[in-house]
Amino acid sequence: MEKFTLRDKAAIVGIGETEYSKNSRMSNLALLLQAATRAIEDAGLTPKDIDVVIPAMHVIPFEELAVNLGIEDLKYAVTTHMGGASAVASLESAAMAVAAGIATNILCVTGWNGYSAMRASAIGQAGDASASAMPMLSPMPKLRDFEMPYGVFVPAQWYAPMAMRHMHEYGTTSRQLGAVAVACRKHAQLNERAMMRGRAMTIEDHQNSRMIVTPFHLFDCCLESDGAAAVVVTAAERAAAMRHRPVYIMGVAEGHPVPVDQIAARPDMFQIGLSYAAPRAFAMAGLTPKDIDVAEIYDCFTWVVICQLEALGFCNRGEGGHFVEGGRIVLGGELPINTHGGLLSQAHVLGMNHIVEAVRQLRGDAGAAQVKDAEIALVTGWGDLGDGSIAILRR
């Protein structure tokens, strides 16, 4: 019997985004519903056609989304809990649900008031010493008990020691981290939906930006944004008859580092979730990194991109810093990444915007940022303490 595979079983047929801003004046729920209804409309469907809703990360419970959308027969309920890796991981659950015949049209959606509701200064004013610096998220118990008492509060502080160790072992430099930030900012200039459009950045701007947590300067850190994004996934055999050119999911996987709840204890800090997931996804797709035309790499921090490029096999361990230099990751280069500007310069909507951009690239709708003749796109997610997710998409 032939081994079952998710390859080419599902397709993304609808995309939707809200405006990205620092002051949405909308609730989290309203943001998610706006992105959702836009994605459903883009697919040529109505909300009643949706039979599964997958919130990527628990910002809004699926119940509230389903009730507002008027879904009459919700066939499956699941939420992906992998922080920034949740969006791409939701594609995996969606592909499984359609491949298994459980569902027809699946909505994957996420977003938040990531600026207006979550500023550290706003939390400080509350004066609650037990507050998480990310108040929507309850901290993992072990982080709460063994790291927060020492002053570890935000994701930058989780990943910074990894980056410091990478610099120590492999000679990775701050200017190499900066090359990622500059590439994303350059691409944001081409994107009218990018929060940093009109604000060019040079490597010197990056080097001169204030230090947040060593080795991360301000411009190594992603934006904090209000906004939401969504996609609609359906079965491949239905997709061809729908409004837009379908984008097929060729390979999809998630992975988790060990131990999953503690970075410090890992014998090899650079064996991340994606180190497990990427070989699975490439094998499913029957492709190698050389086949990728454009890559949207989760970029909560610049160094995280470098670490993922190594785990994906675009370069060897320790060579990621060198890889991102010299224009290789800029449009026109060997591997254009984050053609929308990424979390660093478009908006931080938990990476669902990376999936939306990959779909635009494969539809040929990416405007000034279009990678010519893009046929294969790769999208990653990185979340919590290095959880990873990956999707390989084709037109």
- List interacting residues with another protein (CB under 8 A): 120, 123-124, 127, 129-131, 133, 141-142, 144-154, 157, 160-162, 164-165, 168, 210-215, 259, 261-262, 264-265, 269
**Residue closer to another protein, measured from CB, 25 or 210:** 210
Judging by DSSP bridges, how do beta strands 105-113 and 387-394 pair with one another?
A: unpaired
Residues paired with 274 in a beta bridge: none
Q: Which amino acid is at 335?
A: L
**Residue closer to another protein, measured from CB, 143 or 349:** 143
Closest approach of Cβ 7 to another protein, in Å? Answer: 33
Closest approach of Cβ 135 to another protein, in Å? Answer: 12
- Coil, strand or helix: which one is 217? strand
**Residue closer to another protein, measured from CB, 136 or 190:** 136
Closest approach of Cβ 139 to another protein, in Å? Answer: 9
**Residue closer to another protein, measured from CB, 4 or 150:** 150
Torsion of CA 383, 385, 386, 390, to 10 degrees: -30
Euclidean distance between CA atoms 131 and 228, whole angstroms: 25
Closest approach of Cβ 348 to another protein, in Å? Answer: 17
Closest approach of Cβ 147 to another protein, in Å? Answer: 5
**Residue closer to another protein, measured from CB, 1 or 265:** 265
Helices (H), the chain: 28-42, 62-69, 86-99, 120-126, 141-146, 155-170, 174-188, 203-208, 236-239, 273-285, 302-312, 320-323, 342-345, 352-363
Euclidean distance between CA atoms 59 and 338, whole angstroms: 24
- Coil, strand or helix: which one is 323? helix
Tokens 């893009």 belong to 374
Judging by DSSP bridges, how do beta strands 76-77 and 52-55 pair with one another?
A: parallel
Closest approach of Cβ 300 to another protein, in Å? Answer: 15
**Residue closer to another protein, measured from CB, 101 or 141:** 141
Return the H-helix or E-strand segment holding 253: strand 247-255
**Residue closer to another protein, measured from CB, 87 or 269:** 269
Closest approach of Cβ 247 to another protein, in Å? Answer: 38
Cis previous bond, 215, omega within 30: yes
Residue 7: CB atoms within 10 A of its CB come to 20
Alpha-carbon separation of residue 60 from 22, 48, 129 (angstroms): 19, 19, 25
Tokens 């890992």 belong to 266
Euclidean distance between CA atoms 41 and 64, whole angstroms: 19
Q: Are the C-beta atoms of residues 8 and 250 closer than 8 Å to each other?
A: yes
Q: What is the residue-wise DSSP string for 80-98?
A: B-SGGGHHHHHHHHHHHHH
Euclidean distance between CA atoms 30 and 68, whole angstroms: 10
Closest approach of Cβ 133 to another protein, in Å? Answer: 5
Closest approach of Cβ 256 to another protein, in Å? Answer: 13
Closest approach of Cβ 276 to another protein, in Å? Answer: 16
**Residue closer to another protein, measured from CB, 74 or 164:** 164
**Residue closer to another protein, measured from CB, 161 or 364:** 161
* Tokens at 334, concatenated: 């060997």
**Residue closer to another protein, measured from CB, 101 or 151:** 151
